[in-house]
């Protein structure tokens, strides 16, 4: 009987090691390495003969992007969904990832068939959430399943226009002995769905969990496999959410989408400046309004500053929402060129 080969994988960053370490050499987190059986990829090499094609002979016709029905999402994706694209959506638990994708599925299902796969919720739970969001489209098909082989068979039978998988950490390939969410399952599962997307020209959205540091959980190769990586950010105790792309093969990574979480789902915020300014009073001391560019959209933001005499030891410099070193540089310029000597003042 052949000896089983095992290696250790970091559950936070996917670092591979031949032996166990208390501290991961890749991400410096403690007690994150777990032992897994190393198996060959379950996918066999194709026996079909292939040959390279000269670039000038490749026939290409620019395809129309799919309109998601959500302009803020279209903006971040670069104008819509590209056929055959593979999109990863990450975010903290409870931030609204599933809500965003279910609303997107509802909008798309007004014109095309959409297959929504959940490995975390039952059909009844999804139905309750859909009712709350006002989604009643017949072309939206719901399936609770974790087997990727079953999902592929159903997708090839139904032939949907878009496939949504929530989440990649719950999916399994029966050919692998590892548990769901393990490094090998996430890596091979993502490769499996990527091939399905490219071979069938099927746009695939997958949800990815994030670590406590805010990075996508699982092996780093996951972010390399996909075409687009989206992060859904915000404070669960506040209503506003930001959607941004950190990787996009089909568009810019400078655009952001702004949403407001309400009882009936996510609502787009077409004028984020009004949100960022709030109850701004331009005449208040220590407050000013500046213009910043996020992609192609100018945004108005309010900057507040407070300067007080430092009476308790060395002067303090505290910043929120702005780079600390940049503030120090600005203070140095003000001291040298303008004559504002703030060396004995606290600056907030």
Tens digit of each residue's pLDDT (9 = 90 or more) over 283-299: 678 888 888 887 778 88
Q: Are residues 215 and 301 in the same domain?
A: no
Per DSSP, 13 falls in state: T
Pairing, β 287-294 against β 345-347: unpaired
Q: Are residues 334 and 304 in the same domain?
A: yes
Report residue 140 as tokens: 């939206």
Q: Does residue 254 belong to any structural domain of this protein?
A: yes
Sorting pLDDT into bands at 50, 70 and 90, what band is 1? very low
- Please give the tally of structural domains in the chain: 3
Residue at which a domain ends, from 222, 239, 270? 270
Distance CA 44, CA 38 (A): 16
- Helical (H) or strand (E) element with 332: helix 324-333
Instruction: Dump pLDDT digits (tens) for 66-89.
Output: 999 999 999 999 999 999 999 999
Q: Are residues 148 and 183 in the same domain?
A: yes
Q: Are residues 144 and 264 in the same domain?
A: yes
Q: Are residues 77 and 179 in the same domain?
A: yes
Q: Are residues 308 and 284 in the same domain?
A: yes
Average pLDDT over residues 317-346: 90
Q: Are residues 215 and 119 in the same domain?
A: yes
| CATH (domain of 99) | 3.40.50.300
Q: Does residue 251 belong to any structural domain of this protein?
A: yes
Indicate whether 278 pLDDT > 70.
no
Question: What per-residue confidence (pLDDT) applies to 200?
Answer: 93
Report residue 52 as tokens: 């390279």
Which range marks the domain in which residue 288 is found?
A: 277-347
């Amino acid at each position: 009987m052949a000896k089983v080969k095992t290696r250790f994988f970091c559950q936070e960053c996917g670092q591979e090691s031949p032996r166990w370490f208390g501290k991961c050499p890749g991400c410096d987190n403690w007690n994150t390495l777990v032992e897994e059986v190393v198996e060959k990829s379950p996918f066999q090499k194709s026996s079909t003969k292939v040959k390279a094609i000269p670039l000038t002979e490749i026939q290409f016709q620019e395809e129309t992007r799919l309109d998601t029905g959500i302009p803020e999402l279209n903006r971040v994706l670069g104008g819509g969904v590209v056929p055959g694209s593979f999109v990863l959506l990450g975010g903290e638990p409870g931030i609204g990832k599933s809500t965003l994708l279910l609303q997107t599925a509802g909008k798309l299902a007004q014109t095309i068939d959409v297959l929504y796969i959940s490995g975390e919720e039952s059909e009844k739970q999804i139905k309750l959430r859909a009712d709350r969001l006002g989604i009643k489209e017949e072309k939206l098909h719901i399936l609770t399943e974790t087997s990727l082989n079953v999902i592929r068979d159903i997708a090839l039978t139904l032939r949907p226009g878009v496939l949504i998988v929530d989440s990649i950490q719950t999916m399994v390939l029966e050919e692998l002995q590892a548990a769901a969410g393990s490094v090998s399952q996430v890596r091979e599962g993502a490769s499996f769905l990527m091939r399905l997307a490219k071979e069938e020209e099927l746009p695939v959205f997958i949800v990815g969990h994030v670590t406590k540091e805010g990075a996508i959980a699982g092996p780093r190769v996951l972010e390399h496999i996909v075409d687009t990586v989206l992060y859904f950010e915000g404070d669960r105790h506040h209503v506003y959410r930001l959607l941004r792309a950190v990787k996009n093969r089909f568009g810019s990574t400078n655009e952001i989408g702004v949403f407001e979480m309400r009882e009936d789902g996510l609502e787009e915020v077409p004028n984020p400046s009004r949100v960022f300014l709030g109850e701004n009073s331009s005449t208040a001391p220590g407050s000013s309004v500046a213009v910043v560019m996020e992609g192609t959209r100018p945004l108005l933001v309010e900057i507040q500053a407070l300067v007080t005499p430092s009476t308790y030891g060395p002067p303090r410099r505290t910043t929120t929402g702005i780079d600390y070193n940049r503030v120090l540089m600005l203070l140095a310029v003000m001291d040298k060129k303008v004559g504002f000597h703030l060396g004995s003042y606290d600056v907030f």
